[in-house]
Structure 1
Amino acid sequence: MEAVAATAAPTKARDPRALAGELEAFNSLYRPHLEAVYDFAVRIVGERDLATDMVRQTFGLAWRSFPEQGNDVAGRLFTTARVCTLDSLRYRRDRNGKEREGLHFTRIDGHRVPDAAVFDQSLAELVWDAASALPREAYSLLALHVRHDLSPDAIGLDRATAVRLARTREFFDKDVTIRLLATRARHTCGELDILVARDDEHELAQHIRRCKRCRETASRFVSPAAVLGSLATIAPSRSLARELFNRPRRRGVFGIL
């Protein structure tokens, strides 16, 4: 939290005991969200160092406005993290998150898998490939909704942005479904097999819309959103958690006093 407090710069001195109580309250409310916020950031920017900087900035801004903002933590934290991470990519050429590090984006967390859902590693990789190919703005909205269970209202989306989110999810679901049919079910339908060989995505999508057999096959696939939501959280370093939330031993609290 030294990094958090260093960004806070309070406008007036605060009683040390009162401040210590605020810090304890802040930690209890915000510490449980660290891993999820870090996962959200690193999946957008594609590298650990930049994600770590964005998480520091996010929690620093949260501390600055604490406790006036109340206990509604998740929506505010993720909204702030989204703004910070997208701003960090604004002037970068690789805005769609070229992966420069060996991050494990496609590990499956068995505790996050919906009941009765069964899928393999290759499906997880296919789903993540489709998600990571989205523009970062679009992916960030999809992730908030699918991976972090935040409604449009919870993250303060206006109507136009909420509609954009719905369209992004629809596009994502269709994209993954087409890929699955092309790779796993092409031989169940003669026309589908021909179109896959032609490699014409437009004709392929049109065929799937009108073909009853392909639609029935697609209905048996696990929801792409469920697979995306089941990918394991990428954890931050332990040093980041200590930096943000452990009380220093020296006199003063978080370097503020």
Structure 2
Amino acid sequence: MMPERSDDQEWAARAAAGDQQAFRAIYRAHIRPVYWIAYGVLGSAADAEDIAQETFVVAWRKLPGLQLAGTSLLPWLATICRFQAANRLRLLQRDRAHTADAVGETVADVVNVEDQVISAELAERIAEEVGSLSELDRAVFRLCAVEGYAYRAAADELGVSHAAVRNRLSRVRTHLRGAVKEVRDA
């Protein structure tokens, strides 16, 4: 199930106090979106996996000082991820600059701050919208969109029909697209 707003806050407080189970819950809840953010910046599955892991290592170290101002940890994790990915891009650029066969290749050495702010706003808005869904819709979204379940497997897990999962996920995606459009148009 997608984390409830209070789940992130509770998990963060427990993890900050050293509770590894709580941190595992944070990891399980947010690893997929963090991975996709890294992949979007880097365009490489291997680098995205590394950066996603590094994001959670940094988060573990920073949790004791975190003042969770929002409802979700995702915008905070997304920011850490983007900075880690930008550092990786700079490292790749340096490495390629020192490689003789890198003639003509370019890697951006800056990350657009405006894009980062929009991405953080977007992640927060998506987290808010997902949090406002019914329990069943959140479960369908988590299983199909986050964890990659097939409709039939999600239906079996939730005890509903295949059509119910398909229709609910379609409505949730349409709803989220509207929220994304609002943030981008703002």
Normalised TM-score (structure 1) = 0.32
RCO higher in structure (CA 8 A, sep ≥6):
1
Q: Which of structures 1 and 2 has the bigger CA Rg? A: 1
Q: TM-score, normalised by structure 2?
A: 0.43
